[in-house]
Amino acid sequence: MLERDNVDPRRLVVMTYSNKAAGELSERIAKRRPDAAAAMWIGTFHAYGLNLVKQFHQALGFSREPRLIDRAEAIDLMLDRVAGLNLTHYRELYDPTDKLRDFLSAISRAQDEVVSADRYAELVEEMRALDHSSETQERVKRAREVAQVYKSYTDLKRALERIDFGDLVALPAELLTRNPTIAAQLREDIDHVLVDEYQDVNRASVQLLKAITNQGRNLWCVGDVRQSIYRFRGASSLNLARFDHGDFTGAMRDQLDTNYRSREEIVEAYSTFADGMTLAGATSVKLKAHRGRLGRPPEFRHIDGITENEIDGVADAIAELRAEGYSYRDQALLCRGNDRLAELGRGLEARGIPVLYLGSVFERPEVKDLLAWLSLLVDRRAMAMARDTGIPGMTLSLEDIGALSDALNDDALPPLAWLGSGVAGFSSDGIATIARYSALLDGFDARSAPWDVLAQLLLDRTRIAADICSSNDMAARAKGIAIWQFLNFVRAQPLSSGNAISRLLERIRRLVRLSDDRDLRHIPQAAQGIDAIRLMTMHGSKGLEFPAVHVTGMTKGSFPKRNPAPTCPPPDGMIKDAGGAGIDFAAREDEDELQCLFYVALSRAKDRLILYSPNKDTANRKRNPSDFIARMGKGVESRIVSATNYGIDNSDAPVAINLIGESTYWQHQLSVYERCPRRFFYTYVLNVGGKRVTSSFEDMHEVVRRVITELNAAETAIDLATARDVFDVHWNSSELASRQASTAYRVLADELVTRFALTRAEGTLEPGQSLRFKVGSATIRVNFDYSLVDGTGRKTLRYIQTGHHKKTVLTGNAAFAPLLAAQHAAPGYGAELLHLSDGIRVALSDHAGKAADKRAGIGKIVDAIAAGQFEPKPSNRSCPKCPAFFTCGTVPPGTAQKKF
C-alpha cells in the first residue's frame, strides 16, 4: 500500500525488534526497491533510540554523547557500590555477580515499563500501604532494596555519563513526552512509521511511537499475538490489545487469513494448537493454506532411548529427508535452549552431518588454544601449559607438566621466565616443545596488545590460519568463522593502557558467566549459503522459514517448562493494566509465552515438520511426550521410533595415574572432586592451579578466614578487643584495605569476626582438632575450628564457614566428612557447621543416619581418583570462575604421578 501511494522512502521509519529482523527486512526490501531500501531508516527500537540519545544528549542532561555499557560493565560499575548499600534482604553471597545480575534485570524491566527509580520506590510504598499480608510485606522489603539499588545505579550512570540498553528506549521516550517541541520537530521529518512484530513492543517503545507518530495516524503495524515470545523483556499481550483501544485511538485493525508459507497439513497442526491457546486478546482465525496439501503429515517421533538417542533419531530423519530431496541447507533444527543446541550441534557433527552453528565462541577449542596462549603472557604459573592443544609439537606430556609445575611452585618468577631457563627433569620432547613455545611467544609480554599477539600467532608463527584456509570441510570453516568472530571481539575492546591481556581474559570470564557472549554466535552472512543444517533456538527462528523443520526436546516437564519466578519481582502496579500482584501476572504471561514459542516453532515449516522426544531418562525411567503434542490434533502422525545406533561414545577416557603410597585427602579436595572431577585433576593432581578468580567479597571472606585461623591457634578464650586487634593487622596487610569502597567490606568483615569471637564464648572452649578417618586404604582429614563444652557437659566440634547457609550445604558426600571424622576420631563429640554470615548452625550429628551411605560415597570418590576418572562437569556458572577455565579440554598424553 505504501509502495503504491508513492511514499518518499527518506521520510519512512521502519522499526523492528532485533538486528536480525532488521537485516532480513532490509534485504527483502532491497530485492524489490534497492534505492528505497538505502534511503529509508530500518533498524531496532534500540538503534533508533541511540540516535536520539546522541542527537539530544544535551537536552537529556549529558555534557557529551554518553557511552553505552553492556551488562558486564554495569556489574563492574556496581560491584563496589552494593557493598555500601547495606542490603539485608538480598544478602551478598560469596560472589555478588549473580545478585547484581538479578537486580539489573529487575531494573531493566522497570525501564521497559518507563518506571523511574523514584517511581519504583513510590510503587513499593503504595504496595506497602495497600496490602498488609505478611507475604506482601516481605515482597515490599525486597522491592524496597531493589529501588535502592535502582537509584544508586541511575545516579552512577548519570555521574559517569553512561547509558545502558534500557536507557536507549526509556530516555528518549521520556524526553519526547516531557518535551513536545522536540517531538514535533522530529515528526516533521517522518511521513510514516512501520512497526514489524508489534506484539513484541513494550511500554517504553509504545511511548516512543506515540511521540514520533501523529497519535498513530501515520503508524502501520504488523503483529501476531500468537508470536509474542519476548514477554520477559516487557512485551505484553496487553500492548497489542491496547493498540486500538487506548494507545492509538482510532487505529484500524485487519486480519490476514491466507498463509503463503506452509502446506495445509502443517497449517492444520498449528491452527489446531492455536485454537487451544489460552491467550488474552487472541481471536480465532481460520487460515487458508495457499500452497495446498503435500500428502505428508507432520510427525512426532518418540525416540526409544535417552536424550543422546534423540540425536540419533534426528540424524536418521535428516538423512531420510535428504534422500527425498531436502538438502542440508533446507533443514533447520530448533530447540529451546542454547546449551542443548550446542550438544545437538556436536552430536550431529559426530554423526557426519554438517551443521551451521558455532556455539559459544569462547568454548570452542581453537579459540581456547589462543586464549590459553594469551594467558601464558600474564600467568606466572603457566597453567595453560597443561592444555592439550591438538597441534603437533605444542603439547607437553603429563610427566613434563609435573616437572614444570614443580619448578614454578617454588619461585615467584615473572610470567614466561620458564621459557629461558632449563627445567629439571624434562624429557627431550618436552625440551623441544618448550623451545617451540619460546619461538611462539618471543618478544611478547604481559603488556602486549592482545590483537597484535593473536594476529602474529595465527598468521606468522603458526600454520593455524593457513591450514584453515586450505581446508574445505565444514569443521574447518566453522573454526575459521569462530576465530574470525573472536578476533573481531578482541579488536572491539576499548583501548586502554596497562595490562590489556588480563582485562580481556577477565572480561571473557564475565561474559560467559552472564551468557552475554551470544552475539558472537551469529554466523556471518557470507557463510549462510553453506550446505549445512541450520541450528537455532526457537526464539532465534522467529521470522524465518525452512522447507523442513526438526524440533527436539518435546518432553513433558521440559516443554512447556515454566521459567523460575524472577528473584526480584516487580512491585504491584508497575506493569500497566496488569491488575493484581505483579508476580501472578508474570506467571500467566509466562505460560502464554511458551505456547507462543511452540506456535512460532511449528509455523517455521513450509513442507515438513518433525518433532522429537526421548522416552527414557538415564535412570531408565520413562519420559512422556509434551502435552503440546496432543494439542496439535489428529493430523500429526505419532509413533515410537528406534533410531540407528551411530556408536557415538561420549564417555571420558580415564587418565593414566600413578598414586604413590597411601593417600590422604583433605575434605575440601573431595568437595572439589564432587563439583568437578576435571578441576580436581588440574588443581590437585597436576598441581597447576593458579589463583582462583576472586571478587572483593571473596577476598573479604579470605581475610576473615586468616583471622579465624590465627585465633584458633590460641589455646585460650579471646576477648572481643583482642579479636579486633588481630583483625586490624590482617585487614591492613590485605590488598582489600587499599581498594575503593573498602570500608563497606570492612564493616562486613568486622561483623563476621565479632560473631566468630562471640560463638567461641558459648561454652567452655577447647582447641580445634585435626581429625582423620579411613575409607579403604585412604585417609580423609578434617580440620575443626574449635570445640565447646556446654553447661550440661555436652561436647560439640565446630566447623566454621564464613558465608551464608545454603540449602544445598548437605548435598553430596564430602560435606559429611566432618561428621564421619567426629564419629571415628572424637567419640563423645557432636559435630556442627556454623555459618558466620547468618549465624545458622547445622547439627551434623542429626544426620548420623546417613553416615554409612556417605562413607560409601566418599569411598567411590577415592576409588575414582585412583582409577584416573576426571571427567569435566561444565557449567556456565562455575567454569568462568575456575582457574582452569582457559586450560580445560582434552587431557595431555602421559602418566600423571602424584603423592596425596
Partner DNA sequence: CAATCTGTTTTTTTT
Partner DNA sequence: AAACAGATTG
| Binding flags for DNA, 339-378, as an x/- string (CB under 7 A) | xxx-------------------------------------
Rounded Cα–Cα distance for residues 72 and 897 (Å): 40
Cell numbers representing residue 189 in the block: 521529518
Tell the smallest beta-carbon distance from residue 247 to DNA (Å): 20
CB of 556 to DNA, least distance (A): 5
Nearest CB to DNA, comparing residues 414 and 557: 557
Task: State the nearest-atom distance from the C-beta of 563 to DNA, in Å.
Answer: 4
Pair 396, 385: CB distance under 8 Å: yes
* Residue 172 C-beta: closest distance to DNA, Å: 13
Residues 301-330 that bind DNA (CB under 7 A): 306-307
Which x/- pattern, by CB under 7 A, does the window 80-119 give for DNA? -------------------------x--x-----------
By residue count, the chain amounts to 900
Longest dimension (CA), the chain: 95
| CB nearer DNA, residue 19 or residue 779 | 19
Binding flags for DNA, 485-524, as an x/- string (CB under 7 A): ------------------------------xx-xx-----
| Residue number, 70 or 429, with CB nearest to DNA | 70
Q: Which listed range, 11-19, 58-66, 124-132, 438-446, lies at the site for DNA (CB under 7 A)?
A: 11-19
* The one among 117, 335, 601, 821 contacting DNA by CB under 7 A: 335
CB closer to DNA out of 623 and 772: 623
**Contact in structure between 317 and 555 (CB atoms under 8 Å):** no
Per-residue x/- mask for DNA, residues 166 to 205, rule CB under 7 A? Answer: --x-------------------------------------
Which amino acid is present at 91?
R
Cis peptide leading into 560, omega within 30 of 0? Answer: yes
Which residues does residue 641 pair with via DSSP β-bridges, in sequence order? 303
| Contact code string over 798-837 relative to DNA, x by CB under 7 A | ---------x------------------------------
**Which listed residue (9, 12, 14, 46) binds DNA by CB under 7 A?**
46
Instruction: Find out whether 215 and 249 touch, Cβ atoms under 8 Å.
Output: yes
What DSSP character marks residue 549?
A: E
DSSP 834-884: EETTT--EEEGGGGGGGHHHHHHHHHHHHHHHHTT-------TTTGGGSTT
Choices 229-237, 404-412, 462-470, 860-868 (CB under 7 A): range interacting with DNA: 229-237
Which of 90, 103, 153, 165: binder of DNA (CB under 7 A)? 165
Among 44, 734, 823, 887, binds DNA (CB under 7 A): 44
Burial of 377 (C-beta count, 10 Å sphere; 0-12/13-18/19+): buried
Out of 262, 338, 462, 734, name the contact with DNA by CB under 7 A.
338
**Out of 30, 47, 77, 737, which residue is the one contacting DNA (CB under 7 A)?**
47
* Nearer to DNA among residue 165 and residue 373 (C-beta): 165
Burial class (CB in 10 A: 0-12, 13-18, 19+), 326: middle
Select 569 or 689, whichever has its Cβ closest to DNA.
569
Stretch that binds DNA, among 14-22, 212-220, 635-643, 662-670 (CB under 7 A): 14-22
Q: Shortest approach of DNA to residue 164 CB, angstroms?
A: 9
Between residues 306 and 527, which has the closer beta carbon with respect to DNA? 306
Amino acid occupying residue 859:
G
Number of residues that bind DNA (CB under 7 A): 53
Residue 511 to residue 520: CA distance in whole angstroms: 11
CA angle 124, 128, 134 (to 5 degrees): 120
Q: Which is nearer to DNA, 148 or 338 (CB)?
A: 338
Q: Which one, 479 or 521, has the nearer CB to DNA? A: 521
Q: Give Cβ neighbours of residue 880 (< 8 Å, ≥ 6 apart).
A: 508, 509, 510, 512, 513, 693
Quick one: 108 or 331, whose CB is closer to DNA? 108
Rounded to the nearest whole angstrom, what is the least distance from the CB of residue 725 to DNA in the complex? 38
Q: Which is nearer to DNA, 567 or 783 (CB)?
A: 567
Residue 218 neighbours by CB under 8 Å, 6+ apart? 190, 191, 192, 193
Residues 536-575 that bind DNA (CB under 7 A): 537, 539-540, 553, 555-558, 561-564
Cα-based distances in Å from 621 to 306, 639, 759: 10, 19, 48
- What residues numbered 56-75 form the site for DNA, per CB under 7 A? 68, 70-71
- Distance of closest approach, residue 656 Cβ to DNA, in angstroms: 28
Three state DSSP letters for 122-163:
HHHHHHHHHCCCHHHHHHHHHHHHHHHHHHHHHHHHHHHCEE
**Residues 6 or more apart in contact with residue 892 via CB below 8 angstroms:** 386, 387, 388, 395, 396, 397, 398, 401
Binding segment for DNA among 12-20, 121-129, 388-396, 681-689 (CB under 7 A)?
12-20
> Whose Cβ is closer to DNA: residue 558's or residue 783's?
558
**Cα torsion at 602, 607, 613, 615 (round to 10°)?**
130
| C-alpha torsion angle, residues 41, 44, 46, 48 (rounded to 10) | 10
3-state secondary structure 697-754: HHHHHHHHHHHHHHHHHCCCCCCHHHHHHHHHHHHHHCHHHHCCCHHHHHHHHHHHHH
CA 827 centroid distance within chain = 46
Amino acid at site 113: E
> Of 231 and 387, which CB lies nearer to DNA in the complex structure?
231
Alpha helices in 86-133 (DSSP H): 97-112, 117-130
Residue 519 CB, shortest distance to DNA, in Å, is 5
CA distance 239 to 255: 17
Which three three-digit cell numbers place residue 845?
A: 550429628
Three-state DSSP at 101 gives: helix
337 binds DNA (CB under 7 A): yes
Q: 308 or 429: whose CB is closer to DNA?
A: 308
C-alpha to C-alpha distance for 620 and 616, rounded to whole angstroms: 5
The distance of closest approach from Cβ of residue 341 to DNA in the complex, given in angstroms and rounded to an integer, is 7
State the Cα–Cα distance between residues 835 and 824, nearest whole angstrom: 24
Q: Give the bridge partners for 896, in sequence order.
A: 657
User: What CA–CA distance (Å, rounded) separates 557 from 777?
Assistant: 43
Query: Closer CB to DNA, residue 272 or residue 558?
Result: 558
Least Å from the CB of residue 169 to DNA? 8
Taking the least distance from each CB to DNA, the nearer of 69 and 700 is: 69
- Nearer of residues 306 and 544 to DNA, judged by Cβ: 306
- Tell me the closest approach of the beta carbon of residue 183 to DNA, in angstroms: 21
The whole-angstrom separation of Cα 348 and Cα 355 is 7
Residues 721-760 that bind DNA (CB under 7 A): none
> At closest approach, how far in Å is the CB of 29 from DNA?
17
593-652: which residues touch DNA (CB under 7 A)?
Answer: 593, 617-619, 621-624
Q: Site for DNA (CB under 7 A): which residue of 9, 14, 15, 17?
A: 17
| Identity of the residue, 134 or 618, whose beta carbon is nearer to DNA in the bound complex | 618
Residue 541 grid cell: 527462528
Query: Residues in the site for DNA, rule: CB under 7 A?
Result: 17-20, 22, 44, 46-47, 50, 68, 70-71, 105, 108, 165, 168, 230, 232-233, 306-307, 335-341, 515-516, 518-519, 537, 539-540, 553, 555-558, 561-564, 593, 617-619, 621-624, 807
